[in-house]
């Protein structure tokens, strides 16, 4: 049974990896034609820059969010009962949206051994063999392969043991052996990196959205909440019951875990409410990239730099006016477990 542990480094992309995510044409590594990776471009890039909406709006409308949620529901309905985790036994050491140096991780990393199978039937569209690469720079994913599982859903399987002369067939079944879990690329320990990318929508998808979530009976833990004033003064509502009126940014240090004492993973959703009214919601179901920046869904899309802070996840700004206020923070995980904390505040 897979279990959860901690995080590891998020993979970033080389020029060869970018072509897989940005184009429909099936690709394979070509030693003569594949250009050397640019050491200065190891930040995520997911294809040509997207044009801004004609309306100039900077976030999704309510209707747009509903369409997005409908898309995810249909995607889940299509794949939920057919896709499997690529390793049968192992430990989840980093999950989708886990923070790493101020940016979100784009997939799941497992510490595992044994064989790696495709999540579903599919077609091989790219494979990278570190030993056969002409690039002078190593791929962060090490040995990796990309499979098209249909409907433009691409599965990325990486950081496994270099297969050497062995090759992955063009068409794979669920029982096909892709490789052996191992250690390559920027892996801190032996195992596998696994991610889903939707090429039609150009977004990364949380694997737990379309594969049955891992067994988890523990709710997320809310370790700390911080109210940061416009002047930069931090207030801990657990210690300070009185705050000046004004505009505050809410930061929540929340983690998910599957076992007591286990290492930390990212929750799936964090919601902030004031006096029973929702003022901010952060969702880690999908992630996108625009103009070279990773974007997170928080009442629309915002740069990850506005969300990933040393104090926790930023849930946006809230204006407190004089009187009594009840601040409630709720954190949920993919298994449906939730935890909430409430703070009574006097606003002066």
Cβ–Cβ contacts within 10 Å for residue 30, how many?
Answer: 10
> Would the pLDDT of 78 be above 80?
no
Task: Give the pLDDT confidence of 2-36 residue by residue, as tens digits.
Answer: 555 444 444 455 555 555 555 443 444 333 334 33
CA distance 40 to 112: 31
Confidence of residue 312 (pLDDT cuts 50, 70, 90): very high
Q: What is the pLDDT of residue 31?
A: 38
Domains of the chain (ranges; CATH) run 3-210 (2.70.70.10), 221-347 (2.60.40)
CA distance 29 to 348: 64
> Would the pLDDT of 225 be above 90?
yes
Find the range with the poorest average confidence among 12-21, 116-125, 137-146.
12-21
CA distance 161 to 113: 10
Confidence of residue 146 (pLDDT cuts 50, 70, 90): very high
Contact (CB, 8 A) for 42 and 11: no
Three-state DSSP state, 266: coil
CA distance 325 to 60: 29
> Would the pLDDT of 274 be above 70?
yes
Element (H, E) at 272: strand 269-274
Task: Give the pLDDT confidence of 40-69 residue by residue, as tens digits.
Answer: 333 333 344 344 444 443 444 555 555 555
Handedness of CA 272, 309, 10, 24 (dihedral sign): positive
Find the range with the poorest average confidence among 127-131, 267-271, 320-324.
127-131
CA distance 342 to 276: 10
Residue whose pair of structure tokens reads 């969702």 in the numeric block: 283
Q: How many residues does the chain have?
A: 348
Contact (CB, 8 A) for 79 and 211: yes
More confident residue, 45 or 167: 167
Taking 3-state DSSP, the helix, strand and coil percentages for the chain, each rounded to the nearest 5, stand at: 10, 40, 50
More confident residue, 235 or 75: 235
Beta bridge partners, 328, equal 273, 342
Beta bridge partners, 332, equal 269, 338
CA 231 to chain centre: 31
Going by C-alpha positions, the residue among 18, 11, 20, 10 that lies closest to residue 37 is: 18
């Amino acid at each position: 049974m897979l279990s959860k542990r901690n995080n590891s480094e998020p993979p970033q992309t080389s020029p060869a990896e970018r072509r897989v995510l940005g184009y429909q044409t099936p690709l394979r590594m070509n030693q003569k034609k594949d250009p050397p990776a640019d050491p200065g471009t190891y930040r995520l890039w997911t294809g040509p820059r997207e044009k801004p909406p004609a309306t100039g709006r900077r976030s999704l409308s309510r209707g747009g969010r509903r369409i997005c949620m409908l898309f995810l529901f249909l995607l889940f309905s299509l794949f939920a009962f057919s896709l499997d985790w690529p390793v049968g036994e192992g430990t989840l050491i980093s999950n989708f949206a886990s923070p790493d140096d101020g940016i979100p991780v784009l997939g799941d990393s497992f510490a595992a051994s044994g064989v790696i199978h495709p999540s579903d039937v599919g077609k091989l569209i790219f494979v990278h063999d570190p030993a056969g690469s002409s690039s002078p720079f190593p791929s962060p994913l090490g040995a990796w392969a990309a499979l098209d599982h249909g409907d433009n859903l691409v599965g990325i399987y990486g950081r496994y043991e270099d297969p050497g002369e062995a090759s992955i067939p063009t068409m794979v079944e669920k029982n096909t052996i892709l490789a052996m879990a191992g250690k390559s690329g920027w892996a801190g320990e032996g195992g596998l990196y696994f991610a889903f990318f939707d090429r039609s929508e150009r977004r990364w998808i949380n694997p737990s959205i379309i594969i049955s979530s891992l067994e988890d009976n523990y709710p997320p833990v809310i370790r700390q909440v911080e109210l940061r004033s416009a002047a930069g003064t931090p207030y801990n509502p657990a210690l300070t019951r009185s705050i000046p009126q004004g505009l505050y940014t809410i930061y929540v240090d929340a983690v998910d875990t599957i076992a007591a004492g286990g290492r930390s993973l990212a929750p799936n959703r964090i919601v902030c409410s004031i006096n029973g009214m929702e003022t901010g919601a952060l969702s880690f179901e999908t992630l996108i990239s625009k103009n070279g920046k990773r974007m997170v869904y928080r009442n629309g899309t915002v740069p990850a730099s506005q969300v990933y802070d040393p104090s926790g996840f930023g849930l946006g700004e809230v204006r407190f006016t004089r009187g009594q206020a009840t601040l409630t923070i709720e954190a949920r995980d993919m298994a449906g477990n939730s935890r909430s904390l409430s703070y009574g505040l006097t606003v002066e």
